[in-house]
Structure 1
Amino acid sequence: MATRRIYDRDRHAHFVTFSCYRRRRFLDQDRPKRIVLGVLASQLSLQHGRCVGFVVMPDHVHAILWFPDVDQLSHFMKQWKQRSSVQIKRFLRIGMTAYAQAFDLSEPIWQPRYYGFNLYSEHKFEEKLAYMHQNPVRAGLVARPCDWPWSSARYYKQGHSVGVPVGWLD
């Protein structure tokens, strides 16, 4: 079996995607989405990372991340997924018991891996940012990207705060 490689030595930004276990819709409710974004903001602060953009969908997450030091992405992703998983499971057990009965909470919240794509150019940044902001529209959840509150689209289109510090890299 071939080993998947993540290149994290050139200080490029990364477009990352990770999915809920078996594409289950663990993120249907607002509170789990808030948890994902809260852990994102917290872990970015701890690792001095930057977020260019994000979208949290009912069954997966996309983000564009950058770190000032090399070899930060794997640790970041492990912490983001691990910390959010614990908090989402706690919320489902305590705050959404009827909803949680539809799932086996002994199973993981997230698929074991994530997909990372190095962004080498401004064109790729723009392409991936537009792709992820269009996700809720393509899924039929909203009519316009800025109508989805779980994305950085409102920041870019309207200048509104989105709960996570986001911005273009200098």
Structure 2
Amino acid sequence: MPDYRRATTPGATWFFTVNLLQRHGNDLLVREYPRLRDCMLRERCRRPFSVVAGVVLPDHMHWLWRLPQGDADFPTRWRRIKTDFSRGLPRTERLSAVRQARGERGVWQRRYWEHQIRDEDDLNRHIDYIHFNPVKHGHAAQAMDWPLSSFRHFVAQGRYPANWASPVEMQGAGER
């Protein structure tokens, strides 16, 4: 088995992509959003972290987290969130022989993708990516239309116009 190593910078800001194992046609994260939200809140109480931005789509999610100074342990946080979420679901998913032998569930992909944010430009690019993702995947006509996103919070703070990533706004951007 490969020795997978993650970066361990205490107090850093991280971008994550976390996927369901069976992505095609799966809307589990939207259907079970209250459960997911509760699992994340419980973990934030156990091991604090700040959520900078996030979006939950039917089959995957993206998050920007800032960890406390001196703390780099996001793997434990993700393991607990994924485990807590899976435990509350009925066992209806298909399992490979390997997962069956290990006593694992077949809800999540084993790994997730993380990226340490390098600077303010990198942070802003990832915030844009998060908020555009429902539009990119065809779940919303514009960012404001997707309810499971931090986009509306950013609009309320004045960081985005409400029509950001809308067809009208995108058309105007192409004419510049």
TM-score, length-scaled by structure 1: 0.76
Match of residue 63 from structure 2: 63
Structure 1's 130 and 48: CA in aligned 2 closer, same or farther, altered over 3 A?
Answer: same
Match of residue 122 from structure 1: 120
Match of residue 163 from structure 1: none
Match of residue 168 from structure 2: none
- 8 Å Cα contact 2:29-2:57 kept in structure 1: no
Gaps of 5+ in 1: 94-99, 160-170
State the superposition RMSD in angstroms. Answer: 2.2
Structure 1's 27 and 83: CA in aligned 2 closer, same or farther, altered over 3 A?
Answer: farther
Compute the displacement of 1:34 (Å). 2.1
Compute the displacement of 1:67 (Å). 1.4
Query: Aligned partners of 1:48, 1:83: CA distance in 2, in Å?
Result: 16
Compute the displacement of 1:51 (Å). 0.5
Match of residue 147 from structure 1: 145
Compute the displacement of 1:122 (Å). 1.1
Q: How many percent identity over aligned positions? A: 24
Higher relative contact order (CA 8 A, sep 6+): 1
Match of residue 104 from structure 1: 94
SS in structure 2 opposite 1:143?
coil
SS in structure 2 opposite 1:21?
coil
SS in structure 1 opposite 2:9?
coil
Query: Aligned partners of 2:44, 2:124: CA distance in 1, in Å?
Result: 21
- 8 Å Cα contact 2:21-2:108 kept in structure 1: yes
- Report which of the two structures shows the higher radius of gyration computed on alpha carbons: 2
Query: Aligned partners of 2:107, 2:135: CA distance in 1, in Å?
Result: 24
Query: Aligned partners of 1:109, 1:29: CA distance in 2, in Å?
Result: 10
SS in structure 1 opposite 2:32?
helix
Query: Aligned partners of 1:85, 1:65: CA distance in 2, in Å?
Result: 21
Q: How many positions carry a matched residue from both structures?
A: 148
Gaps of 5+ in 2: 158-176
